[in-house]
Amino acid sequence: MVRAYLAGPDIVRKNALEYFNMQKEICLKYGITPLHPIDNPQASNANTIYESDIKMLESADIVIANFNPYAGMLVDDGTAFECGYAKALNKRIYGYLSDDRYYELKVLNSPNFDEFQVKGIKQYVNLMLEQSAYKVVIGTFEDCVKEVSKDYNLNFNILTKT
């Protein structure tokens, strides 16, 4: 099975455990072993959390990253770090997001944008993230997991009507 580190701000959701259980079911259904920071001991020491998450990320084969906006209009900065770290380790990164507007349109509608400009490159997230990702899927978490499963020719147990 492919071991996938699930990157994203989902660990701070109010229903984080319930949400992860849903993600876990989806991953297993498609033949993917999910690795999620929620499985690490949740210490109050920031360094312990960081070290545990890094070890888990290093043990993964790939990263599935939630590129949906968090606490603003752009990708979570922790997720961006995890993707950069994974890229440095030569791991494939699969990102997903539900907003199919190009990055330029998202950023130009932000407050306090008067001092900056965005190049009209057709991308969905910051170009450093998008170019480092093996694939960016516009859709749901499950849509992204399906892409991983197809790319790795995994046998999955989806029930089909006969």
**Domain map of the chain by residue range?**
2-151
> How remote is the C-alpha of 52 from its chain's centroid?
18
Tokens representing 141 are: 């978490």
> What pLDDT, on the 0 to 100 scale, is given for residue 114?
62
Fold of 2-151: Rossmann fold (3.40.50)
Per-residue pLDDT of 50-93, as tens digits, reads 999 999 999 999 999 999 988 877 899 999 999 999 999 999 99
Q: How many CB atoms lie within 10 A of CB 33?
A: 13
**Terminal-to-terminal C-alpha distance of the chain:** 27
- For the four alpha carbons of 38, 5, 19 and 26, in that order, the dihedral sign comes to negative
What's the predicted TM-score (pTM) here?
0.89
Residue 68: which region, alpha, beta or left (left: phi > 0; alpha: psi -120 to 50)? Answer: beta
> What pLDDT, on the 0 to 100 scale, is given for residue 162?
36
Tokens representing 11 are: 């660990």
Q: Is the pLDDT of residue 158 over 70?
A: no
